Amino acid sequence: MTALSPQSSVLSPDASSGLVINNVTKEYPTPAEPLVVLRGVSFSLAPGDRLAIVGPSGSGKSTLLNILGTLDAPTAGTVTLNGVDPFSLSAKELAKFRGSRVGFVFQDHHLLPQCNALENVLIARLASGGVNKLDADRAAELLQQVGLRDRATHLPAELSGGERQRVAIARALMNSPQLVLCDEPTGNLDTHTGRIIGELLTRLAAQSQAILVAVTHSAALAEMFPRKMGMVDGKLT
Ligand code: ADP
Ligand code: MG
């Protein structure tokens, strides 16, 4: 395991490829002084890099992940993914950017209860228009890769927690994203299932050369990542 210096530049020799985070801060206004949640976060990751960020509850992990995934904007600082600053895009371009370049896996699977496993993976395609035969084939292939070939027509209620999270991983990878973000992906799972999910995530992300960033308070999950950073009170350590 190698530690990663927060300011490391070795990881991204070329700023136009990979994920570059520079001095990101996030504050929320309050009636008194602003609540500062992120205090100048900087790092760079190259395609294929896998990073776990570990820290206690309330340290700002989800806030950082949401900014990396463009679900939330920083108060200051910059984010670029393969040379594109998503926060300079129009709302429409930003939605397209997020849908095509970023995959999310949350603690809770966020599957649609009325859709079966295959349909839930295909949901990822809806934002980009219709779903065709090739999409259906790819979704079925991804379900096979996460070990759920025989569960394609099962509803989420008919799947175990670990199986639901595998569907969520397949959905996150459906559009071949450049960046896969995971927020406590094993937080609802037992240790054994969590290990299986962690292995799947790291293997499939490596296979597609996506950048994988997971935030977690699980030391066991973080151990599976070649690179680790700590987050304490809005700062990387
Ligand atoms: P973690 O994921 O590490 O548990 P979060 O990023 O969710 O931490 O939250 C960090 C801090 O930011 C917490 O104190 C939380 O209350 C605060 N926070 C998060 N989102 C908001 C928001 N939308 N408005 C105000 N405060 C927020
Ligand atoms: Mg969180």
Q: How far is CA 188 from CA 23, 120, 172, 198, 234, in A?
A: 32, 19, 18, 13, 24
Mean per-residue pLDDT, 66-90: 97
Axis-axis angle for helices 191-208, 161-173 (nearest 10): 10
Instruction: State how far Cα 16 lies from the chain centre.
Output: 20
C-alpha of residue 38 to centroid of ligand 1, in Å: 10
Q: Which atom of ligand 1 is nearest to the CA of 28?
A: 25
- Average of per-residue pLDDT values in the chain: 92
The verdict on the CB of residue 61 being under 6 Å from ligand 1 is: yes
> Which two three-digit tokens encode residue 164?
């639901």
Are 38 and 231 spatial neighbours (Cβ–Cβ below 8 Å)?
Answer: no
Give the global pTM: 0.91
Average pLDDT over residues 14-43: 92
